[in-house]
Chain A
Amino acid sequence: GIQVEQSPPDLILQEGANSTLRCNFSDSVNNLQWFHQNPWGQLINLFYIPSGTKQNGRLSATTVATERYSLLYISSSQTTDSGVYFCAVITQGGSEKLVFGKGTKLTVNP
C-alpha cells in the first residue's frame, strides 16, 4: 500500500517563528488532507489540497502531486499551534481509505 512519511517527527519553536512541515507519499493520490490534532484528540481539518496552493490566515499549504509531496507552512507561530499535525492521503485507483502519516509533533514555547 501507499507509504506516507512526515518530517520532522518533532519540532520545537519559539513563539513568532515560522516553520515548514513536509509530507511525502509513495503513489499518486486523489485526496490529501492536513489535520491538527487538538489536546483532546480531535482531528481538526486544516486543508483539503490534492494539488496546488491554499492559504488560511497564518497557515498555507502546497501540494506538488507530480513530485508526490505536500508542505504545510505555519507563520508567526503561537502557543496554540502546538499539537500534532497529520497528513493523510487517498490513492488514485485503489482503496478509498485515508492513509495517515505518523505526524509531526509541534511545540511552540512562549
Chain B
Amino acid sequence: DTGVSQNPRHKITKRGQNVTFRCDPISEHNRLYWYRQTLGQGPEFLTYFQNEAQLEKSRLLSDRFSAERPKGSFSTLEIQRTEQGDSAMYLCASSLVGKEAFFGQGTRLTVV
C-alpha cells in the first residue's frame, strides 16, 4: 500500500475556470476527508465520506464546491468558477472509522 495519493500535486488556473482534484485513499479505509489549508493556518475541514455517503459538509463548502466518492473508493473535489480566494492547499485524508487518519501530499491550487 502506497498511502493516500492526490493528483495533481500542483494546479494553476485562471479565475473563472473549473478544476477537479482526485484522492485515492488507503485501500481498506472507509472514511475519506477533504481539508483546505491557507498559508500560516491549520487545515480546515471541508467534507467527509463514509464509503460512498457524504456524511458532513462544512459551511466553507460553498455551492461552487462539490465532492463525490462514487464507489466508496477514490474521491473527487470540484471547484467551479474559481476565485482568487480559492488559492490554497487541498488535503485529503483517509481512515478506518474511529482510527488514525493519514494524509496525502496535497494539491496546491493557485488561481491567477
Contact = CB atoms under 8 A, between A and B. Distances in A.
Interface of A: 30-31, 33, 35, 40-43, 45, 48, 86, 88, 95-103
Interface string B75-112: 00000000000000101010001111111111010000
Listed from nearest, the 4 A-B pairs whose CB atoms lie closest are A100-B42, A48-B100, A43-B103, A97-B45
B33 interface: yes
A53 to B, nearest CB: 17
B106 A45 contact: no
Given A30-B98, A41-B89, A42-B105, A98 B33 contact: yes
A96 B48 contact: yes
B31 to A, nearest CB: 7
By secondary structure, the B interface counts as strand
B24 to A, nearest CB: 15
Contacts of A43: 43, 91, 93, 103
Contacts of B43: 43, 86, 88, 100
Contacts, number: 53
B100 A97 contact: no
A97 B42 contact: no
Nearest to A1: B45
B45 to A, nearest CB: 5
* Candidate in A30, A100, A102 with the most chain B CB atoms within 10 angstroms: A100
B62 to A, nearest CB: 18
Contacts of A102: 41-42
A30 B101 CA distance: 13
B42 A33 contact: no
A62 to B, nearest CB: 17
Nearest to B97: A96
Contacts of B31: 96
